[in-house]
Amino acid sequence: MFISKRWYLLLGACVILLFTSFFIKILYQPVVAFTLAVLAITLLDYCLLFFLKGSLKANRLLSSRFSISDDNKVTLSIINSYPYKIKARLIDELPFQFQVRNFELVVAIGFKSRETVAYNLKPLSRGEFHFGHLLCFVSSPIGLLQRRYKIAEPTMVKVYPAFQQLRKYQLMAISGNTISGVKKIRRLGHSLEFEKIKDYVMGDDVRTINWKATARSTSLMVNTFTDARQQQIYCLIDKGRSMKMPFEGMTLLDHSINACLALLNVALLKQDKAGLITFSNKVSDVIVADRRTNQLHRILETLYKQQTLFQESDYDAVWSAIHRGITQRSLILVFTNFETYSSLERQLPFLKKIAQRHLACVIFFQNTLLKEIHESTPDSIEGIYIKTIADQFDLEKRQIVKELRRHGILSILTTPQNLGIDVINKYLELKARQMV
C-alpha cells in the first residue's frame, strides 16, 4: 500500500488543528470530527482498494527488435476489473541504456474497461536491451491511498542497425532513380551484359542496331543491354578506437553500420552479391558475398552486436583475409576514419595492395565541429588560433583525398548524417559508369 500526497495534506491539517486546540487548552468538537472523518475516509479508501473484488491486468506490447536511431513504439494495454473508475500511475522499468529515471505515465480507466497507452523509445546504441517489470499504482476515486501491482514480466529486445530506413533507401535502387507514381521502373542499361534483341522504336540508340538481325527481318532490330549483375560488393567496417568518436549520441561505428546495411540492401536489390568483413586488431567476422534470400538477415544479425575494441586496426590482417578469401574482382568499401595524414600513411601500403586487385573506396568522416570553426570568422586572438588549427585539420583531410586518388583509390569524405546517402550515390554512380 502507498499513500498519496492528498492523504499527507489531510493528515498534516489534522495534526496542526489538534496541536492548536491543545495549545489553547480547548478541544473543539469540529476538529475531532474532522480528524475522525479523515480516518474514516482513509479506511473506506483502503476497503475499496483491497477488499472489493477487482484487480488490474496489463500487457506490454512491443516489437521483438528495435531499430537504432529510430522511434520504436511501445504499447501498454491496461484492463480495469474494479467496479469503479480508477486512476493508474504507470512506471515502466526501461533498459538502463536509455538512462531515464523519471519515466511515468498517468491514465484514467473506466469501470471494467480497457485503456491503451503508447510511447516511443529511440535507442542510440545496438545490442540487447532488457525491460524490467511494469509497476502500476492504482487509486480509487477517493485518491488517498494507492495499491501497487507488479505486472508485465521482464523481457529482452535486440536493437539492430537502422533497418526501418531501408525502405527509404530502396527507392534509390530504382534504375536511373526514376519514379512514376509508386511503380518501379526498370531501365535498360548500356553495359556489356546483353539482354535481348527487339524491334527498333523511335528514341532507341542507333548505335545498338543489330545489322545481322535486321538483314534477316523486315524491320530494324536493336540490341538491348541490362546493368551488370552478380558483382561482389564488400563492406569493410573498421572497429578500431578511431570509430568510437561520438556524433549526435551515436558513434561513428554506429553510423557506418547503418550506412553499410542500407548499401548492401540496395546492392541486393540491384542483383549484386553482398558481403561483409569487420575488423580491428584482427578480423572479427566474414560473410562471403552472396545474394541468397537470407543474406540480408545474416548481415543484420552480424552487425547488431558489433562493438568498438579500442585498439589499433590491423590492415595487414585485413589484406591477408581479402587475398585468401576474395578471388574475384570486387567493389570493396572501407568504412574507417583518418583524422590526420600520418594515420593514412601507416595504412596506405595495405590499401594500395587492395586497390591493385579490386576497386577500392575509402569512406571517412569530416569533423563537423572543426568544419564550422573553419567556415567561421574569429573575433579574438584565441579564435584566430582555434581557426588556424581547424584549417590545418581541414587541409589534412583534403590531402588525404588527393593522396588516395593519386594511388587509384576512390574516396568519400562526408559527414555522419550524410553518410548513407553519399555511399549509395557513389555505388549507383559506379554502376552507371560500368566500373562495377
Give me the CATH number covering residue 37. 2.60.40.10
Residues 154 and 238 in one domain: no
Residues 238 and 316 in one domain: yes
Please state, in angstroms and rounded to a whole number, the distance separating the CA atoms of residues 84 and 88: 13
In a domain, 259, yes or no: yes
How many other C-beta atoms lie within 10 A of the C-beta of residue 51?
8
- For residue 6, what pLDDT is reported? 60
Residues 102 and 249 in one domain: no
In a domain, 104, yes or no: yes
Residues 154 and 241 in one domain: no
| Assigned C-alpha cell, 93 | 522499468
Please state, in angstroms and rounded to a whole number, the distance separating the CA atoms of residues 21 and 44: 27
266, containing H or E segment: helix 252-269
Residues 233 and 156 in one domain: no
**Distance (Å) of CA 129 to CA 68, 115, 123, 201:** 12, 26, 9, 58
Half-sphere exposure of 42 (CA within 13 A, CB side): 17
DSSP annotation of 186 reads P
DSSP 121-179: E---S-EEEEE-PEEEEEE-SS-SEEEEEEES--EEEEEESSGGGHHHHHGGGSGGG-E
Residues 153 and 293 in one domain: no
In a domain, 194, yes or no: no
Residues 2 and 126 in one domain: yes
- For residue 226, what pLDDT is reported? 64
In a domain, 179, yes or no: no
Residues 140 and 238 in one domain: no
Please name which of 396, 402, 344 lies closest in space to residue 370, comparing C-alpha atoms.
396
Q: Which of 131, 160, 189 is the last residue of a domain?
A: 160
DSSP 30-88: HHHHHHHHHHHHHHHHHHHHHTSS--EEEEEEE-SEEETTS-EEEEEEEEE-SSS-EEE
In a domain, 223, yes or no: no
Task: Give residue 39's domain range.
Answer: 1-160
Q: Which of 118, 142, 160 is the last residue of a domain?
A: 160
- Per the CB < 8 A criterion, the answer to whether 330 and 427 are in contact is no
Residues 146 and 237 in one domain: no
In a domain, 196, yes or no: no
pLDDT mean values, one per 10 residues, the chain (436 residues):
59 59 54 70 80 84 89 91 88 89 88 89 90 89 84 88 77 49 41 73 83 86 74 93 85 92 90 92 92 90 86 90 90 92 91 93 87 80 84 88 93 90 89 77
Residues 404 and 261 in one domain: yes
- For residue 32, what pLDDT is reported? 64
Sequence-ordered alpha helix ranges (H) in 184-251: 211-215
- For residue 237, what pLDDT is reported? 95
In a domain, 244, yes or no: yes
Residues 33 and 149 in one domain: yes
Q: Which of 116, 139, 160 is the last residue of a domain?
A: 160
- Per the CB < 8 A criterion, the answer to whether 57 and 81 are in contact is yes
- For residue 178, what pLDDT is reported? 37
The sign of the torsion formed by the CA atoms of 296, 297, 301, 302 equals: negative
Residues 150 and 234 in one domain: no
The count of structural domains within the chain is 2
In a domain, 100, yes or no: yes
Q: What is the CATH number of the domain that holds 258?
A: 3.40.50.410
Residues, the chain:
436
